[in-house]
Amino acid sequence: MTGSELPVGEDDLSALVDGRLTPERAATVEAYLAARPEEAARIQADRAIRAALRERLAPKAGEPVPARLRAAAVIAERRRIRRGRLRQALAACLVLLAGGTGGWFARDLSERFWGIPARPAPLPQEALAAHRIYTVEVVHPVEVKADQGAHLAQWLSKRLGRRLAIPDLEGVGFRLIGGRLLPAGRSDVAAQLMYGAQDGSRLTLYVRCGEAGRWDLRVTKQGEFASATWATGGYGYALSGALDPDRLMMVARAALSEMTGGG
């Protein structure tokens, strides 16, 4: 009976009202009140008020929750807003990127007149190897799924050391599935974004850091696969899939156009 040794205090009385005392302590406090009718009446009143307040407010918690306050609705709405914001930010980012090379559609000119070397790169081979490995995956095609769009972009951007744009290719029939991180070369990293079409065909956008070259959009074929690649600012990009080169080039242009804010 250690509880009975402590003198009864205001906190005991509050805890009695709230029913938070151990049975032993409650007995001690009740015994204390038995000798003090005035204080006992006060506690009785507090209990009654507490009960009345609970009763008065109970219907509010019993009401059906409005649709806008369902947790799932709040999460979905937040995701939608963030995706929109992300796209805007990435589009702005891409404008800068493309602007640095004088715009995409000037690339042939730049190659011809300014002599930007059209050097062969191992990028298509590397991107296609990654493409072949992961597009056949059914259970784990990606590490992070598209529904975590903001997280995916943040994570890959952090590991790549640059803000990675995630182009929206739904307009040309490819929906983002998600992405993963891959090793590149000896010490570099690459990101792979995977897209899927309605007919099950898949497309990957491979982004590699540590790219020494710089070149404009071109297509490399390898068997049934093709890879549209470009490189700028130390990063190499490869859009790969089992598509014919013309279609792939069309998708690549659509992607770039979409990423640069449409145009």
Residue ranges that bind other proteins, judged by CB under 8 A: 10-11, 13-15, 17-18, 20, 42, 45-46, 49-50, 52-54, 56-58, 60-63, 65-66, 68-72, 74-75, 77-79, 147-148
CB of 22 to other proteins, least distance (A): 14
Q: In the complex with other proteins, which residue's Cβ is closer, 47 or 214?
A: 47
CB of 41 to other proteins, least distance (A): 10
Paired tokens of 133: 């490995």
What are the backbone angles phi and psi of residue 39, rounded to the nearest 5°? -65, -35
Q: In the complex with other proteins, which residue's Cβ is closer, 13 or 86?
A: 13
Side chain identity at 134, as an amino acid letter? Y
Q: In the complex with other proteins, which residue's Cβ is closer, 6 or 75?
A: 75
No. of helices (H) and no. of strands (E), the chain: 8, 7
CB of 81 to other proteins, least distance (A): 10
CB of 39 to other proteins, least distance (A): 12
CA pair distance 245, 253, nearest whole angstrom: 12
In terms of DSSP bridges, do strands 215-222 and 202-209 run parallel, antiparallel, or are they unpaired? unpaired
Strands (E), the chain: 144-145, 174-184, 188-197, 202-209, 215-222, 225-232, 235-241
Paired tokens of 192: 């792979």
Q: Cα–Cα distances in Å, from 172 out to 46, 132, 220, 242?
A: 68, 22, 21, 15
Q: In the complex with other proteins, which residue's Cβ is closer, 49 or 96?
A: 49
Paired tokens of 152: 């995916």
Paired tokens of 243: 């598509």
Q: In the complex with other proteins, which residue's Cβ is closer, 33 or 130?
A: 33
CA pair distance 218, 215, nearest whole angstrom: 8
Paired tokens of 206: 């491979």
Q: In the complex with other proteins, which residue's Cβ is closer, 17 or 94?
A: 17
CB of 3 to other proteins, least distance (A): 17
**Cβ–Cβ under 8 Å, residues 218 and 118:** yes
CB of 56 to other proteins, least distance (A): 6
CB of 181 to other proteins, least distance (A): 19
Q: In the complex with other proteins, which residue's Cβ is closer, 52 or 118?
A: 52
CA pair distance 68, 117, nearest whole angstrom: 56
